[in-house]
């Protein structure tokens, strides 16, 4: 449940999450009939890289929560669609693993660390493994209040404490 809520949930009352889905509903397709569609081209160019469509894989953390192969599988999927993957700093696979698993064009996502040496080390590591650009996430000074995650965390702590109490009781019965 914890993992499902992390992937499925949003912050606060999830207004933005609902509006994300509604926004897609507001995009209407306008049928154009009797038009030559033999040559449809959605290709674009991002930072010098040609892509068949303007759809890329955004950085999201911990793919192993959803698939045992984690980001390695995501990278393979991106490569098979000739698209680009942004590997998250919070990935569950190492930079090296993802780099060696396929030849997808890959960018690396980074947070702004107070200690700039950490950033510099990560940038160099990504660069040496063929990552072509850095995607800087700048909205983390204020994290979204994800209520489901908070609830799950407290439930987890409560269950662990209950378990410890239960084991202490069992142990006491055993002794006496």
Binding interface with ligand FMN (CB under 6 A): 6-7, 20, 58-61, 88, 90, 109, 137
Taking alpha carbons only, the member of 156, 140, 138 closest to residue 148 is 156
Nearer to ligand FMN, 33 or 143 (CB): 143
Taking alpha carbons only, the member of 88, 137, 80, 123 closest to residue 105 is 80
Nearer to ligand FMN, 105 or 107 (CB): 107
Unique residue bearing structure tokens 């890959």: 106
Distances (CA, A) of 5 to 66, 76, 154, 171: 12, 25, 14, 35
In this structure, the number of other CB atoms found within 10 A of the CB of residue 40 comes to 7
Q: Beta strands 84-87 and 49-51: pairing type?
A: unpaired
Nearer to ligand FMN, 109 or 152 (CB): 109
- Provide the minimum distance between the beta carbon of 105 and ligand FMN in the complex, in angstroms, as a whole number: 17
- Provide the minimum distance between the beta carbon of 149 and ligand FMN in the complex, in angstroms, as a whole number: 10
Largest CA distance in the chain: 88
Nearer to ligand FMN, 144 or 158 (CB): 144
Unique residue bearing structure tokens 């239960």: 166
- Provide the minimum distance between the beta carbon of 112 and ligand FMN in the complex, in angstroms, as a whole number: 11
- Provide the minimum distance between the beta carbon of 101 and ligand FMN in the complex, in angstroms, as a whole number: 19
- Provide the minimum distance between the beta carbon of 142 and ligand FMN in the complex, in angstroms, as a whole number: 14
Nearer to ligand FMN, 10 or 130 (CB): 10
């Amino acid at each position: 449940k914890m993992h499902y809520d992390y992937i499925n949930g949003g912050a606060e009352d999830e207004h933005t999450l609902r509006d994300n889905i509604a926004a897609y509903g507001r995009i209407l397709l306008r049928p154009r009939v009797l038009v030559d569609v033999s040559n449809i081209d959605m290709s674009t160019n991002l930072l010098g890289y040609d892509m068949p469509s303007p759809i890329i894989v955004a950085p999201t953390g911990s793919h192993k929560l959803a698939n045992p192969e984690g980001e390695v599988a995501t990278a393979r999927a991106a490569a098979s669609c000739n698209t680009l993957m942004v590997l998250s700093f919070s990935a569950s696979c190492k930079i090296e693993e993802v780099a060696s698993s396929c030849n997808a064009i890959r960018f690396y996502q980074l947070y702004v660390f107070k200690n700039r040496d950490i950033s510099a080390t990560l940038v160099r590591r990504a660069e040496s493994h063929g990552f072509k650009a850095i995607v800087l996430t700048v909205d983390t000074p204020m994290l979204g209040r994800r209520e489901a995650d908070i609830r799950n965390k407290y439930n987890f702590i409560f269950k662990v404490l209950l378990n410890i109490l239960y084991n202490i009781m069992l142990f006491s019965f055993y002794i006496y």
